[in-house]
Amino acid sequence: MSKSIYTFNIKKKAKVEEKRVEKYIEDGVEKERTITESVEKEVPIEILLKEPNRKQVQEAELVFSIEMSKCIKQGILTKAMLLNKYKDTGGLASETDSKQLTERYQEYEKAQLDLVTLKLTPEAERAEDFKDQLSNKEAEVVNLRKDIIQRETSYLSLFNHTADTKAQNKSILWYVLNLSFYKDPTKNHKDFVPVFEGKTFEEKEENMAKMEDAGDFIYEQTYLKLASIFSYWFFSGTVNKEEFDKIINESNG
């Protein structure tokens, strides 16, 4: 298992086999015997959010692009389109604010495209300063994303149904479905196994729906936590254990 973004535990009640040693007297001699009993107790199940490698990031970005394109073809506006539509009416924000936010979207889209292009550059064609270029571009994408989030906070309800948001949600779902693992001692797991089974994104999504319909314990205890943590990581671009702990504590409260 590669690096993790975060791990946490959930507990479930289960019958487990426990052994205890009992002393007894036989023919005047003290002896011991081991007794195995089935008892019900809370068993900790470890949940792991795996850190994506470059290939997985590229796959998630591809899911984002496909969903974005699909939404636009269906006539769903992007955030930039929505701002352009309303900027002259004064219903959303001042013309200056709308213009600046539109520019940030355009810069963000270009930076994302540049980042994908960099990552797809063949090894033989990479310049000596490739790592620096990649690091700088990743930082630019993260900073632009943070700036956009700060600027659009007051418009969240309006932006919920834009192509951008739907594409972001699809990308976050990809991370949840592909990078969530658990280890359940009651199932004799020696290592972490996927929370959502399936070879493809579509299969995993279908199995998630079945888990939801069936009231699956692992799904009900983890899905919202997984989605919240991956969302924070997706938008902030950082691994923040304190914030993740806070998310888990709030969801448990």
Q: What is the pLDDT of residues 45-78, one digit of tens each?
A: 999 999 999 899 989 999 999 999 999 999 998 8
Rounded Cα distance between 59 and 107, Å, is 22
Span 123-151, average pLDDT: 83
Q: Are 148 and 180 in a shared domain?
A: no
* pLDDT tens per residue, range 74-121: 999 887 787 777 665 555 555 666 677 788 888 888 888 888 788 888
Span 135-149, average pLDDT: 83
Q: Which domain holds residue 143?
A: 77-160
| Domain closes at, from 128, 160, 192 | 160
Joined together, the tokens standing for residue 108 give 């963000």
Rounded Cα distance between 160 and 137, Å, is 27
Q: Which pLDDT does position 95 carry in this prediction?
A: 62
Rounded Cα distance between 133 and 128, Å, is 10
Q: Which pLDDT does position 242 carry in this prediction?
A: 87
The single residue listed with the structure tokens 């299969």 is 203
Q: Are 238 and 183 in a shared domain?
A: yes
**Is 12 contained in some domain?**
yes
**Is 37 contained in some domain?**
yes
Q: Are 187 and 156 in a shared domain?
A: no
Q: Are 48 and 94 in a shared domain?
A: no
| Domain closes at, from 160, 184, 206 | 160
Rounded Cα distance between 182 and 211, Å, is 15
**Is 60 contained in some domain?**
no
* CA distances in angstroms from 11 to 47, 189, 197, listed in the order given: 11, 15, 21
Span 157-176, average pLDDT: 88
Angle, alpha carbons 158-93-235 (nearest 5°):
55
| Domain closes at, from 112, 127, 160 | 160
Tell whether the model's pLDDT for residue 29 goes beyond 60: yes
Q: Which pLDDT does position 79 carry in this prediction?
A: 79
Work out how many domains the chain is built from and give that number.
2
**Is 58 contained in some domain?**
no
**Is 227 contained in some domain?**
yes
Laid out side by side, the sheet with 4-26 consists of 4-26, 29-50, 180-183, 193-194
pTM: 0.69
Q: Are 156 and 178 in a shared domain?
A: no
Q: Are 187 and 217 in a shared domain?
A: yes
